[in-house]
């Protein structure tokens, strides 16, 4: 095939790409899991102030994420389009993360405004790393399955570092706090260390993940399309819209369940000690699922395995509703299945890369950064909805903190934690039955695009 020869998976590139995921997840894990605790217990912000910060930040994300993708797609440098962002943005991300977990000597409105500005800065810096990182995937290989292998490496790196972080972060915070309870010093030193560790991981990815695939036409010196035209192009890509819908609703299901899962363990299973066991089971089995992805996607194809895993996740959640709370062994077995099936989220990155190829083939549009920014935005909007709905929903069914719940309330908590996410996840996969971008179709389109460019 000459220049059309499709590149296969490079293990060195896969490892380096995984290191980028390790770096970005160090940043995301701390913000996602410990910022609320820092705000309530250390900065002593009110619940209303925290909600206001989160809502404003999410509204800004709705503007910032697509704009960041738009800017990234128009980057030109001797290092490529996406790698410069992975070189220069991580130090800014580290600085804003550290400042976000710093207590300043201000009070009242000034304290809320300062926390808001720093949190938005951290979010923008994270977007400046994450969007180019995701977009880089399409420049690593022309082969659909090879891209899926790189996604697998990325998600394995993500799973491993999350297991490590879950085991060490709170211990670090307490150690540096020199106390049985976390304090400002403990948070600051721990976040400082984590962010100093984060930077070289992303730099390693930037150094060794070269942009091998050149997609621009040599004669394409035409002016760049304006933002509204890029938005219209996204709206015309039917497979991308299917995937974004599935991702958005699926995120509400998965993130929503995780945000209230501890209530199921405490008030339905009547145990505090089982919380760590259940969360560890979920994390480790998802890691196993990610390790299994290359084999499964080669045998079944990305879309078929995606549907199988999504259905397994939904069935597992709904099944938990009917298992007696005293049957701990069976609950943990089903939880392991749910964790394994949660690896389906990793397949979305490979499928999004295929949607970009489809957009290029059908419309001559290949704005990787802009497209992947919508994937990031879908996750953030799903998180925002969960934050606004999950806890109020528990109170609406009669939940009372720190007391034994009535049988009716326990049943409703069980339904909110297991049945509602399971049903939402089923809704999320409905459009995907019409998704037709299998590996053969995508590779055929890639070859024809190469032929067009050579012609």
Same domain, 147 and 38: yes
Reported as a pLDDT band with limits 50, 70 and 90, residue 285 is very high
The answer to whether residues 111 and 202 belong to one domain is yes
Our count of domains for the chain comes to 2
pLDDT band at 455; cut points 50, 70, 90: low
Q: Are residues 115 and 264 in the same domain?
A: no
Residue 387 lies in a domain: yes
Instruction: Give yes or no for residue 19 having a pLDDT over 70.
Output: yes
pLDDT, residue 446, reads 85
Domain match, 49 and 198 both = yes
**Does a structural domain hold residue 1?**
no
What percentage of the chain carries pLDDT values higher than 90?
36
- The pLDDT confidence band at residue 64, using thresholds 50, 70 and 90, is confident
What local confidence, expressed as pLDDT, does residue 327 receive?
A: 95
| pLDDT confidence of residue 224 | 57
| Confidence tier at 7 by pLDDT (50, 70, 90) | low
Asked whether the predicted pLDDT for residue 393 surpasses 90, the reply is no
Does residue 237 share a domain with residue 201?
A: no
Looking at per-residue pLDDT, the higher value among 372 and 248 belongs to 248
Lowest mean pLDDT: which of 202-211, 362-371, 426-435?
Answer: 362-371
Q: Domain holding 407: CATH number? A: 1.20.1250.20
Which region among 269-273, 307-311, 390-394 has the lowest average model confidence (pLDDT)? 390-394
**Is the per-residue pLDDT at 125 higher than 90?**
yes
pLDDT value, residue 5: 42
Q: Is residue 217 part of a domain?
A: no
Under the banding of pLDDT at 50, 70 and 90, the label for residue 329 is very high
Chain segment 210-227, per-residue pLDDT in tens: 887 665 544 344 455 566
Predicted pLDDT at 215: 54
Mean pLDDT of 262-291: 85
Average pLDDT over residues 183-205: 94
SS3 for the chain is CHHHCCCCCCHHHHHHHHHHHHHHHHHHHHHHHHHHHHHHHHCCCCHHHHHHHHHHHHHHHHHHHHHHHHHHHCCCCCCCCCHHHHHHHHHHHHHHHHHHCCCCCCCHHHHHHHHHHHHHHHHHHHHHHHHHHHHHHHHCCCCHHHHHHHHHHHHHHHHHHHHHHHHHHHHHHHHHHCCCCCCHHHHHHHHHHHHHHHHHHHHHHHHHCCCCCCCCCCCCCCCCCCHHHHHHHHHHCHHHHHHHHHHHHHHHHHHHHHHHHHHHHHHCCCCCCHHHHHHHHHHHHHHHHHHHHHHHHHHHCHHHHHHHHHHHHHHHHHHHHHCCCCCHHHHHHHHHHHHHHCCHHHHHHHHHHHHHHHHHHHHCCCCHHHHHHHHHHHHHHHHHHHHHHHHHHHHHCCCCCCCCCCHHHHHHHHHHHHHHHHHHHHHHHHHHHHCCCCHHHHHHHHHHHHHHHHC
Q: Is the dihedral of CA 27, 29, 30, 36 positive or negative?
A: positive
Predicted TM-score (pTM) of this structure: 0.71
Q: Select from 156, 178, 211 the last residue of a domain.
A: 211
Domain shared by 280 and 196, yes or no: no
Q: What local confidence, expressed as pLDDT, does residue 213 receive? A: 67
Q: Which of 94-98, 176-180, 281-285, 369-373 bottoms out in mean pLDDT, i.e. has the lowest?
A: 369-373
Are 280 and 318 within one domain? Answer: yes
Residue 122 within a domain: yes
Lowest mean pLDDT among 3-12, 202-211, 397-406, 428-437: 3-12
Average pLDDT over residues 313-336: 96
What was the pLDDT predicted at 48?
76
Digit-coded pLDDT (tens) for 229-249: 767 777 788 998 899 899 999
Range of the structural domain that residue 339 is part of: 228-455
Determine the pLDDT at residue 98: 96
Helices 83-100, 108-135: crossing angle, 10 deg rounding: 160
Tell whether 367 and 300 lie within a shared domain.
yes
pLDDT of residue 258: 81
The per-residue pLDDT for 221 is 41
Q: Are residue 152 and residue 248 in the same domain, yes or no?
A: no
For residue 230, the model assigns a pLDDT of 67
Does residue 236 sit in the same domain as residue 171? no
The answer to whether position 223 is within a domain reads no
Q: Note whether residue 287 is domain-resident.
A: yes
Residue 327 resides in a domain:
yes
Which is nearest to 120 in space by CA: 162, 198, 65, 173? Answer: 65
Which of these ranges, 15-29, 84-98, 302-316, 324-338, has the smallest mean pLDDT?
15-29
Check whether residue 349 and residue 259 sit in a common domain: yes
Q: For residues 309 and 156, which has the higher predicted lDDT (pLDDT)? A: 309
Final residue of a domain: which of 184, 211, 238?
Answer: 211
Which of 33 and 76 is assigned the larger pLDDT?
Answer: 76
Q: How confident is the model at residue 319 (pLDDT cuts 50, 70, 90)?
A: very high
Give yes or no: residues 80 and 190 share one domain.
Answer: yes
The pLDDT of residue 447 is above 80 = yes
Position 115 scores a pLDDT of 94
pLDDT greater at residue 3 or residue 442: 442
Domain boundary among 211, 239, 267: 211
Query: Which pLDDT belongs to residue 318?
Result: 97
Residue 216 lies in a domain: no
């Amino acid at each position: 095939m000459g220049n059309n020869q499709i590149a296969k998976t490079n293990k060195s590139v896969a490892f380096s790409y995984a290191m980028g995921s390790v770096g970005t997840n160090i940043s995301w894990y701390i913000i996602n899991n410990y910022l609320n605790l820092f705000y309530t217990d250390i900065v002593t912000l009110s619940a209303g102030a925290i909600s206001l910060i989160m809502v404003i930040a999410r509204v800004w994300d709705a503007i910032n994420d697509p704009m960041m993708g738009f800017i990234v797609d128009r980057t030109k440098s001797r290092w490529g389009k996406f790698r410069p962002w992975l070189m220069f943005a991580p130090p800014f991300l580290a600085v804003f993360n550290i400042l976000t977990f710093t207590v300043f000597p201000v009070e009242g409105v000034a304290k809320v405004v300062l926390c808001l500005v720093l949190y938005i800065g951290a979010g923008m810096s994270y977007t400046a790393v994450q969007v180019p990182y995701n977009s880089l995937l399409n420049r690593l290989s022309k082969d659909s399955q090879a891209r899926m292998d790189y996604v697998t490496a990325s998600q394995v790196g993500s799973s491993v570092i999350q297991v490590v972080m879950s085991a060490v972060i709170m211990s670090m915070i307490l150690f540096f706090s020199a106390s049985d309870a976390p304090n400002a010093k403990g948070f600051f030193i721990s976040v400082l260390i984590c962010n100093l560790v984060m930077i070289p991981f992303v730099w390693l990815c930037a150094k060794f993940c070269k942009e091998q695939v050149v997609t621009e036409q040599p004669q394409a010196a035409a002016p760049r399309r304006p933002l509204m035209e890029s938005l219209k192009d996204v709206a015309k890509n039917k497979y991308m819209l299917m995937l974004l819908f599935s991702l958005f609703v699926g995120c509400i299901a998965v993130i929503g369940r995780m945000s209230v899962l501890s209530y199921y363990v405490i008030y339905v299973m009547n145990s505090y000690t089982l919380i760590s066991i259940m969360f560890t089971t979920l994390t480790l089995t998802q890691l196993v699922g990610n390790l299994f992805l290359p084999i499964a996607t080669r045998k079944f194809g990305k879309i078929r395995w995606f549907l199988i895993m999504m259905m397994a996740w939904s069935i597992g959640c709904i099944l938990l509703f009917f298992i007696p709370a005293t049957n701990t062994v069976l609950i943990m077995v089903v939880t392991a299945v749910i964790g394994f099936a949660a690896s389906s989220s990793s397949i979305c990155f490979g499928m999004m890369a295929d949607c970009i190829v489809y957009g290029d083939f059908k419309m001559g549009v290949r704005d990787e950064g802009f497209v992947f920014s919508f994937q990031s935005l879908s996750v953030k909007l799903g998180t925002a909805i969960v934050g606004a709905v999950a806890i109020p929903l528990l109170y609406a069914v009669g939940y009372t903190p720190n007391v034994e719940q009535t049988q009716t309330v326990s049943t409703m908590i069980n339904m909110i934690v297991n049945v509602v996410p399971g049903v939402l996840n089923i809704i999320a996969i409905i459009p995907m039955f019409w998704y037709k971008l299998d590996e053969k179709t995508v590779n055929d389109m890639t070859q024809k695009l190469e032929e067009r460019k050579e012609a």
